[in-house]
Amino acid sequence: MIILGVDPGLTRCGVGVVEAGAYRRLSFIHVDVVRSDPHESQDLRLLKIYKGLCAKLDEFIPDAVSIERVFAQANRNTVLGTAQAAGVAMLAAAQRGIPVALHTPTEAKLAITGNGQAQKIQVERMVTRILNLNTMPTPADAADALALAICHALRPSGALQGGEREQHLTPAQRQWAEATRKANRGKMLHRGM
């Protein structure tokens, strides 16, 4: 099962992709940050985030998307931008028939470190260890995205939720989603991924 994690943000939106294999063995696939220019208007920034996420979804064809659940913060502008970025991530996944799971930062910290109050550096170190990486992913948004993907994979029912969304699709949408996944997986195999 391929899981794409998203740490939503308007300036930097972290994207991390992992594969959950047998016995919950996790393999690193990709990590990146989709960026938008803070000097552009908010609509154009959201469009850039949306297009960047669509490109990642089309490239890696995940079975599930794990997004950080937005919570209230002291800075209202920050939480609004984060919520909007999370919304475009959910939209991009829904358009492709990919199920979405929302996880709080506390859930991700708990899944990764065993402590829901862990410091960011502890999470980054555990992500590095779990995925057998040589260096910690940077910036922090990238590590957080991987943590969200890992959190979803390690949840007791995480690996089983992949097909839930497709039950609510029309037959035509289901057929399009499956054809897209097959075509893109074929491309990934051809590229040696």
Q: Provide the annotated binding site.
A: 7, 68, 141
Q: Is 59 known to be catalytic?
A: no
Q: Which of 68, 107, 124, 144 is catalytic?
A: 68
The C-alpha atoms of residue 43 and residue 60 are separated, in whole angstroms, by 26
Map tokens 């996880």 to a residue: 103
Q: Which of 107, 124, 141, 144 is catalytic?
A: 141
What ranges make up the beta strands (E) of the chain? 2-7, 12-20, 26-35, 64-68, 100-103
The C-alpha atoms of residue 184 and residue 35 are separated, in whole angstroms, by 24
Binding residues for Mg(2+), as ranges, are: 7, 68, 141
Q: Is 68 known to be catalytic?
A: yes
Q: Which of 7, 107, 124, 144 is catalytic?
A: 7
Q: Is 58 known to be catalytic?
A: no
Rg of the chain on CA atoms, in Å: 16
Residues marked active site are found at 7, 68, 141
